[in-house]
Structure 1
Amino acid sequence: MTVLSMKGVVAGYGGGAVLQGVDLDCAERTVTCIVGPNGAGKSTVLRVISGLLRPSAGEISMDGEAIGGRAPDEVLRRGIAQVPQSHALFPAMSVHENILMGGYLIRKDRRLLRERLDMVRDRVPIVAERAGDSAGNLSGGQRRMVEIARCLMLDPRLILLDEPSLGLDPRSLAGVAALIQELNRAGTTVLLVEQNVRLGLGLATHGVVMEGGRVRLSDTAEKVRDHPEIASLYLGGTTAPSGSTRAPAG
């Protein structure tokens, strides 16, 4: 079942088209990773889905219902939550207060708010462990975990992650990767943009390669990762028939 669909989407800034006819589908309970060079339009895809950028052409739908051009709060109410690339927390506020901000749309339903908070604490232990600490005192990996946890307050069907590995040390990276996998196993569909191609495609079930504002390749993550051109450009070698990677000759 397709959760999100983009057909011929054109969008940009100041009259210039960054996305030039993007077609992209995310099936239910999948992890789709978008990779590509800087300026390919990867983050712009997330902005146009979340309502932060209005498309000038094309269609975007969630469960068959058109959402292209809708306001961000309407997109949120339909079950799509985005975790920005960085600086998404309020540093002077506590972890607990930041998490509650994620439940703003359900704030009037106190029972549901408590249930969601208990769920988030259970799934992301740092929310309870560091509840009273200022978000500004957290490490980069801890901040990323809290950013993801905050969007869970709305129990989204689709989570958009923009460069979740950015600036993280290997240990923090492993924790964030494990959280993404756990969310997906629990039924959440994930669409992420990632410069760390090896990590992103390793987490994903499906891969999308963008270049020049268009989708150049879309397939299972394994096939995208093993594509000779992708291996050469992003993984430091070409893919051998056996599936191993070797350095290019010469």
Structure 2
Amino acid sequence: MLTMKRVVAGYGGGRVLHGVDLECARQTITCIVGPNGAGKSTVLRVISGLLTPTEGEITVDGGPIAGRSAEEILRRGITQVPQSHALFPAMSVQENVLMGGYLIRRDRKLLRERLDLVRARVPLVAERANDSAGNLSGGQRRMVEIARCLMLDPGMILLDEPSLGLDPRSLAGVADLINELNRDGVTVLLVEQNVRLGLGLATHGVVMEGGRVRLTGTAAEIKNHPEIASLYLGKEPTT
């Protein structure tokens, strides 16, 4: 579904990505792991149109998206859940979710249909519809952030550190939702500092260091790679 070839990008003239090659097949869950500063979140930003690469190609279903606006990429069915603080705290849960349907706001019938589908998929949206988003727990906020992305019926969701600041129970709920979306055909690309959780969720893994892709493979292959098991999982690889 998604292909990146030799992508270079950065901020203020400084490079963060140094020729990244990456592929995500349709209906997979791919997890990018690596140390701080590896360029993981920058990969998501160039895919979503929030950052324009200076070199390289990014294609979705064979069509180029590098350098396209964030709105154009949203219309291509790619949505992103930022790392944190992505809700409007003074607005209600339902109002925050409806913001995700901004591109279809003029089609009131479609907007209502999508909201009904999201409420069914993420019951919290119905249960806390009129509550202020600022009163939600961290896990509940993350669920609403994902629900908001679903208003555009995306084919691909980008998740930046979905586990950040969540307790184990909330983590389990978010993980269940990600797996459910994937079973329904949504392709997921996530960045995760919690390597054990991220690779446990994923079908495929990517290891980045210094703005480059160092290793790719199935999640099991990445988890069982001798260096990865030692550096990131704190254990010896299984046989």
SS in 1 for 2:169: helix
Q: State whether structure 2 residue 93 is matched by structure 1 residue 78.
A: no
Q: State whether structure 2 residue 132 is matched by structure 1 residue 134.
A: yes
Whole-angstrom CA distance in 2 between matches of 1:240 and 1:179 = 29
**Match of 2:187?**
189
**Match of 2:86?**
88
Deviations 1:79-124 (CA, angstroms, capped at 9, x unpaired) = 1000000010000000010011000000111111111001100000
SS in 1 for 2:151: helix
Match of 1:55 among 53, 65, 86: 53
Whole-angstrom CA distance in 1 between matches of 2:190 and 2:124 = 22
**Match of 1:151?**
149
**Match of 1:123?**
121
- Per-residue deviation, 1:68: 0.2
1:44 maps to a residue whose letter is T
Match of 2:21 among 10, 20, 23: 23
SS in 2 for 1:126: helix
**Match of 2:107?**
109
State how many pairs are aligned: 239
Deviations 1:138-187 (CA, angstroms, capped at 9, x unpaired) = 00000000000000000011100000000000000100000000000000
Question: Scaled by the length of structure 1, what TM-score is found?
Answer: 0.95
2:94 maps to a residue whose letter is H
- Per-residue deviation, 1:238: 1.6
1:168 maps to a residue whose letter is L
| Structure 2: segments with no counterpart, 5+ residues | none
- Per-residue deviation, 1:240: 3.1
Whole-angstrom CA distance in 1 between matches of 2:153 and 2:4 = 22
Flag as ranges the 4+ runs of structure 1 deviating above 2 A: none
Whole-angstrom CA distance in 1 between matches of 2:210 and 2:63 = 28
Whole-angstrom CA distance in 2 between matches of 1:198 and 1:237 = 11
2:44 maps to a residue whose letter is L
Whole-angstrom CA distance in 2 between matches of 1:13 and 1:105 = 28
SS in 2 for 1:166: coil
2:132 maps to a residue whose letter is S
Question: Scaled by the length of structure 2, what TM-score is found?
Answer: 0.99
Q: Percent identity?
A: 80
**Match of 1:235?**
233
SS in 1 for 2:179: helix
Match of 1:214 among 207, 212, 215: 212
RMSD over aligned Cα, in angstroms?
Answer: 0.5
**Match of 1:36?**
34
1:69 maps to a residue whose letter is G
**Match of 1:247?**
none
| Structure 1: segments with no counterpart, 5+ residues | 242-250
SS in 1 for 2:17: strand
Whole-angstrom CA distance in 1 between matches of 2:14 and 2:108 = 45
**Match of 1:248?**
none
Whole-angstrom CA distance in 2 between matches of 1:111 and 1:219 = 43
